[in-house]
Chain A
């Protein structure tokens, strides 16, 4: 007797067992530890923390291990975990001017107070595979420690420009509680806090491509990398009922202030404008892309015409989240038998009707030839069939 395909609990259970096996790989090879991932895959950890919206290196490393190194899947794991956590407070705006800087560069000034600090970067490496890394126990290079520490107060480039009024002032939005994208749905027109949150959580690849598109003429803003800095900043919260703020610890962040040309309009004099990017850990590419897109999205507010994808808030913000995108694209794997059946039936019917029409046309043509009468309108007068 025919039995309909059973998806079945057993198949699912077996599939789970199989991924567990695949994840472990060859048993001859020692198992990766979460600590190893945390310490040696730190840039992956940083990306997963940023787009997963939790600052926790151990959880991010665990998610990467569990997802077999699939970062989008790891981000999803962190997000789903995050959704179950209580929301206790929101922090005060980070004061990145007080950052303990590990890296700080500006592309708009040759030198500036505090100097250019290269820090750790792949920028000037030659991208040659280093086969030494494939060997065990190779001694690592040691960086030379400077005689004196980094100046604890490095003014930000944007602040330097601000003194002259050459750049638009930073918006102070701290008075009311910031929008929380993890608790409220996006609404349009999207305020800046909504936008920046969505971009910070947004997929690095998507933002990179959009930022790139603005450089290639799909919404150019003549950007300069005003300043990129990486380092530890203190997080402060102001508990309800207290009139002073409390420090709850340090986090490592990357920040990018993109400076963009702006010709001015009736309301604003010519001035540089800002695009802003911020991410957990060392996530430079992400923050730069984010800053470009942030600026592009400000087109309407600055009176620029909105012509390109990167300038359209609904397009960018609705499609930047890789947890949403990945889920919906992959939901096409779910059965769609019912809808497919409906379409199948329709296409068959339309084809039948088409054939019938053609037949009628041919008949009409041959009749016309036989009797030399005016062409029949049979094809038009035929009543459409109903389902």
Chain B
């Protein structure tokens, strides 16, 4: 099978980013970004702070329209659509059903005044679930999958540790069984040992559920564990891309080489 045939046999991409640029006034946020993301694939976007990776994430996740270029998404009902050509309610619906967003600070991604069960159940109720027992059952099941004991179901997230809060945020996103999940420095504020445990859990979940994910981070250890492919960003541009192991073990671009060599090998 030629490479061309092989590509043609793949399912269509879930997300297709075409010449995407974003400017802050005359400052470049990100420039000419192109990539495709396939179902079940995990893409890591790495770079230092200021490299444009958060700007890119904002555009990809529908929070900020790009200055130019398109973000195409394989919509369950409508097929491949331009994300920003969807109406606002359609986009908002997408964000709370087929997409997930895990924020660095769980306080931004959770409702701190609602119980763990309420947090997980919100997406179900948003699309019309009206059976308390079923909602609760599902919430309990998802808490189990992220290794939170079921007796914490009615507790407020404020009583949870940082690692638990982050796991709760993940459960809250996964309950609607999204096909795509965005993660912004998902292990950011956590201790090293907690980070390892969370990454392990995340890796298992995205594999088991066949979820595609875009992970934005400055931490190469995170993408080493999670990502299939990498984009390396610098000054708003993608300077290198490829399979994770290839990029990390044999970096071609001087900036990637610098980035890789600055991490202690373990």
Which A residues have a C-beta under 8 Å from some C-beta of B?
Answer: 265-267
Which 6 pairs between the two chains have the least Cβ-Cβ distance?
Answer: A266-B25, A266-B24, A267-B25, A266-B27, A266-B26, A265-B25
| Minimal beta-carbon separation of A288 from chain B (angstroms) | 33
Closest to B132 in A: A384
A-B contact count (CB 8 A): 6
| Minimal beta-carbon separation of A246 from chain B (angstroms) | 45
- Chain A residue contacts of B26, Cβ below 8 A: 266
Residues of B7-47 contacting chain A, CB below 8 A: 24-27
- Chain A residue contacts of B25, Cβ below 8 A: 265-267
Q: How far is the CA of A266 from the CA of B24 in the complex (A)?
A: 7
- Chain A residue contacts of B24, Cβ below 8 A: 266
Q: How far is the CA of A266 from the CA of B67 in the complex (A)?
A: 15
Which B residues have a C-beta under 8 Å from some C-beta of A?
Answer: 24-27
Q: How far is the CA of A267 from the CA of B24 in the complex (A)?
A: 9
| Minimal beta-carbon separation of A382 from chain B (angstroms) | 15
Q: How far is the CA of A351 from the CA of B26 in the complex (A)?
A: 63
- Chain B residue contacts of A267, Cβ below 8 A: 25
Closest to A380 in B: B151
| Minimal beta-carbon separation of A295 from chain B (angstroms) | 22
| Minimal beta-carbon separation of B24 from chain A (angstroms) | 5
Closest to B23 in A: A266
Closest to A268 in B: B25
What are 6 of the A-B contact pairs (CB < 8 Å)? A265-B25, A266-B24, A266-B25, A266-B26, A266-B27, A267-B25
- Chain B residue contacts of A265, Cβ below 8 A: 25
Closest to B151 in A: A380
| Minimal beta-carbon separation of A385 from chain B (angstroms) | 15
| Minimal beta-carbon separation of A291 from chain B (angstroms) | 28
Closest to B24 in A: A266
Closest to B26 in A: A266
Closest to B27 in A: A266
- Chain B residue contacts of A266, Cβ below 8 A: 24-27
Q: How far is the CA of A266 from the CA of B27 in the complex (A)?
A: 7
Q: How far is the CA of A263 from the CA of B56 in the complex (A)?
A: 26
Q: How far is the CA of A265 from the CA of B26 in the complex (A)?
A: 10
| Minimal beta-carbon separation of B7 from chain A (angstroms) | 40
Q: How far is the CA of A54 from the CA of B24 in the complex (A)?
A: 45
Q: How far is the CA of A43 from the CA of B24 in the complex (A)?
A: 49
| Minimal beta-carbon separation of A305 from chain B (angstroms) | 14
| Minimal beta-carbon separation of A376 from chain B (angstroms) | 16
Q: How far is the CA of A266 from the CA of B26 in the complex (A)?
A: 6
Q: How far is the CA of A267 from the CA of B27 in the complex (A)?
A: 10
| Minimal beta-carbon separation of B23 from chain A (angstroms) | 8
Closest to A267 in B: B25
| Minimal beta-carbon separation of B88 from chain A (angstroms) | 16
- Chain A residue contacts of B27, Cβ below 8 A: 266
Q: How far is the CA of A149 from the CA of B133 in the complex (A)?
A: 83
Q: How far is the CA of A265 from the CA of B25 in the complex (A)?
A: 8
